[in-house]
Amino acid sequence: MCYKIVRRIILGIFLFSSWVDINAQEQVVPAAANSSAANPPAEGGGIAIEKVVLPIASSDWKGPRLADGQPNISGHWSNTIANHNNITDPQGGIPNDPNPRRSESGPRENRAPSRVTDPIDGKLPLLPWAQAKVLEFQKGFHNPTKPEYIEPLARCAPAGIPKSLYWHGYEISQYPGYVLFQFNSGTRIIHLDNKPHLHASIKLWNGDSRGHWEGNTLIVDVSNQNGKALLGRSGEFISENAQIEERYVFNEDGSRYNYVVKINDPEVYSRPFTMTIPAKRYTEKSQPNGWHFEVEPATHADADIRLDHYERICAENNGAFGITAAKK
């Protein structure tokens, strides 16, 4: 029994880098700028499902609400474009990969745009020292002679902010005063009651989050993050003093949202920058998917579909691939 889940998790940790390549024959979605066309027929396996980021404007929320007044967006969600392999060319393979993909990836415009939407050139405005560190990590990753060349996520550390939003699928649930995110690697509690942040001396992988709703948009102010979770396995990073503002902008029928995160970190970047991550909802009618929608059919006697999600455990099952790799 135990073997099954251990194998699954170890595979998950070590194979994530190959998913984009494996699923390179993703469906081609027409580049429509109209948000009402925000329902491309994207079901099925793999990570790199879509190639476009459809804009969703901040506006009123006309959809269903919970008893406490929050827009009801509870459910299973996942990003629609690749994973954390490459920030600026998400479907373009791994930067500085010593074993690059054998097939040509074609012209840049055939792949999804950069995660970076401001500045408009799609590049991360890293300071020179930070750019050098990123390059060092990308080269060191494939032959990790220093502990800092190991992506902390491979040790089961929380994926942090913003990477959790472009890793596996995740569940959002809502309660009076709270929005709860259960990621594949880590859990976030968003407080909606405007209580003060924790003291600045407390540093956390997922930070300390305060949110509020404005129409169709959940706006979250994040402080106290520890800067230890990388933005990607391509090594980009932020410092523990970065200011983060997140906007989760939901479309009219609640089937999609765009995660728009603005990061201001003068220690590492020459200017503030913004990343945009499109996400889609998975429902009982969706096919389970070993990456985006990791659910199992529940055992029960009625005709409707109910879903189980098994426990999200990583470090405990990661054995020699995680904890012990760091023992001194």
Tell which positions 157-196 bind another protein, by CB under 8 A.
157-158, 173, 175, 178, 180, 182, 186-187, 189, 191, 195-196
CB atoms within 10 A of CB 155: 18
Site for another protein in 53-82 (CB under 8 A): 67
Cβ closer to another protein: 138 or 251? Answer: 138
Between 104 and 121, CB nearer to another protein:
104
CB nearer another protein, residue 37 or residue 313: 313
Q: Is residue 204 close enough to count as binding another protein by CB under 8 A?
A: yes
Distances (CA, A) of 107 to 88, 92, 263: 15, 10, 29
Both tokens of residue 277?
Answer: 């991550």
Q: Which is nearer to another protein, 52 or 314 (CB)?
A: 314
Q: Which amino acid is it at 226?
A: N
| Binding residues among 123-142 for another protein as defined by CB under 8 A | 129-130, 132-133, 135-137
CB 51 within 8 A of CB 251: no
CA atoms within 13 Å, Cβ hemisphere of 317:
18
Exactly one of 33, 145, 285, 301 binds another protein (CB under 8 A); which one? 301
**How far is the CA of 114 from the CAs of 35, 50, 118, 124, 210, in angstroms?**
19, 13, 10, 10, 28
Region near another protein per CB under 8 A, out of 117-125, 213-221, 272-280, 293-301 = 293-301
Name which of 7 and 65 has its Cβ closer to another protein: 7
Contacting another protein (CB under 8 A), which of 198, 266, 270, 283?
198
In the block, which residue shows the tokens 């099952």?
317
Identity of residue 315:
A
SS3 148: helix
CB of 301 to another protein, least distance (A): 5
Member of 80, 85, 206, 234 binding another protein (CB under 8 A): 206
Looking at this protein, which amino acid is placed at residue 308? D
Residue from the set 7, 62, 65, 123 that interacts with another protein by CB under 8 A: 7
Between residues 34 and 201, which has the closer beta carbon with respect to another protein? 201
Q: Which one, of 197, 196, 193, lies nearest residue 211 by Cα? A: 193
Bridge partner residues of 179 (DSSP): 174, 190
Q: Is 104 in the site for another protein (CB under 8 A)?
A: no
Query: Which is nearest to 276 in space by CA: 37, 153, 59, 113?
Result: 113
Q: Could you tell me the smallest distance in angstroms from the CB atom of residue 40 to another protein? A: 22
Measured from the CB atom, is 35 or 187 closer to another protein?
187
State whether residue 175 is helix, strand or coil: strand
- Which residue number, 63 or 144, has a Cβ lying nearer to another protein? 144
State which of positions 265-284 bind another protein (CB under 8 A). 267
Measured CA to CA, the distance from residue 49 to residue 63 in angstroms comes to 26
Tell me the DSSP string of 9-61. HHHHHHHGGGHHHHTTTPPPPP----GGG------SSSS--------------
Identified binder of another protein from the candidate list 88, 101, 219, 245, rule CB under 8 A: 101
CA–CA separation, 309 and 167 (whole Å): 17
Find the part of the chain contacting another protein (CB under 8 A) among 53-61, 116-124, 249-257, 290-298. Answer: 290-298
Site string for another protein, 237-256 (x = CB under 8 A): xxxx----------------
300 binds another protein (CB under 8 A): yes
Work out which of 110, 271, 315, 319 binds another protein, going by CB under 8 A.
Answer: 315
